[in-house]
């Protein structure tokens, strides 16, 4: 099934965006772009280092620049950073270029997936379930407002999730 527009996967850290993006690419033959990895490659610095040296706003600017570029590329599967939709401008750019699919997961699942991670500066010093719950709640309206569709991921395989995403088209 060939994509006729981008699919942007959004959602909180650890909700499965990268895994599902890879699976969607296998199923559609589309290319994958992993925003965090692309930014790391271009900057030659890890995300934590970018936050530490230049600050979060600078990182958010890099995300906006990248989203603009992606808008001019062939349709692909875009695995966004967990905070990409925090900027209205990014959401407008993404809406103009494709379909935005929100992946959701329970806070416990998210905590389990991210607890060993050393490169999630937003959780630095706060790597615990109660903070994750708090931040997920605070961000929930942004994710929901940006999304064209939402898919729950808990207890499901990437294939099941991706079939649902592709059926919704
Ligand atoms: C962030 C999520 C990260 C990364 C950066 C900021 C966030 O992406 O973009 O650390 O603000 O939620 P993942 O969702 O891929 O971990």
Residue 139, both tokens: 């961000």
**CA–CA separation, 104 vs 85, rounded Å?**
14
CB atoms within 10 A of CB 118: 9
Torsion of CA 34, 127, 16, 113, to 10 degrees: 120
What pLDDT sits at residue 169?
A: 72
42 appears as a binding residue in the annotation? no
Give pTM, 2 decimals.
0.97
Task: Using the mean position of ligand 1's atoms as its centre, give its distance from the Cα of residue 120 in Å.
Answer: 6
- Exposure b/e, 29-54, CB count within 10 A at least 16 = b: ebebbbbbebbbeebeeebeebbeee
Residue 47, both tokens: 């995300």
What pLDDT sits at residue 106?
A: 98
**CA–CA separation, 75 vs 2, rounded Å?**
9
Reported ipTM: the value is 0.98
pLDDT by 10s per residue, the chain, length 169: 789 999 999 999 999 999 999 999 999 999 999 999 999 999 999 999 999 999 999 999 999 999 999 999 999 999 999 999 999 999 999 999 999 999 999 999 999 999 999 999 999 999 999 999 999 999 999 999 999 999 999 999 999 999 999 998 7
**CA–CA separation, 142 vs 69, rounded Å?**
23
36 lines ligand 1 (CB under 6 A): yes
Return the H-helix or E-strand segment holding 150: strand 149-152
**CA–CA separation, 34 vs 36, rounded Å?**
6
Task: Using the mean position of ligand 1's atoms as its centre, give its distance from the Cα of residue 11 in Å.
Answer: 9
Residue 99 three-state SS = strand
Q: Which domains does the chain show, CATH number per domain?
A: 6-167 (3.40.50.300)
CB contact at 8 A, 56 and 81: no
16 lines ligand 1 (CB under 6 A): no
Atom of ligand 1 nearest to the CA of 119: 10
**CA–CA separation, 70 vs 72, rounded Å?**
5
């Amino acid at each position: 099934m060939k994509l006729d527009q981008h699919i942007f996967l959004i959602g909180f850290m650890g909700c499965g965006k990268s895994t599902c993006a890879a699976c969607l690419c296998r199923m559609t033959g589309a290319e994958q772009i992993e925003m965090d990895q692309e930014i790391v490659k271009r900057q030659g610095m890890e995300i934590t280092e970018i936050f530490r040296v230049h600050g979060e706003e600078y990182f958010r600017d890099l995300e906006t620049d990248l989203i603009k570029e992606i808008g001019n590329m062939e349709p692909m599967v875009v695995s966004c950073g967990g905070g990409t939709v925090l900027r209205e401008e990014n959401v407008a750019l993404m809406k103009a270029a494709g379909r935005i699919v929100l992946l959701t997961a329970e806070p416990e699942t998210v905590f389990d997936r991210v607890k060993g991670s050393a490169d999630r500066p937003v959780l630095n010093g706060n790597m615990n379930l109660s903070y994750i719950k708090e931040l997920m709640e605070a961000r929930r309206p942004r994710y929901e407002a940006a999304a064209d569709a939402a898919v729950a991921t808990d207890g499901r395989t990437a294939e099941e999730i991706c079939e649902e995403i592709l059926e919704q088209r």
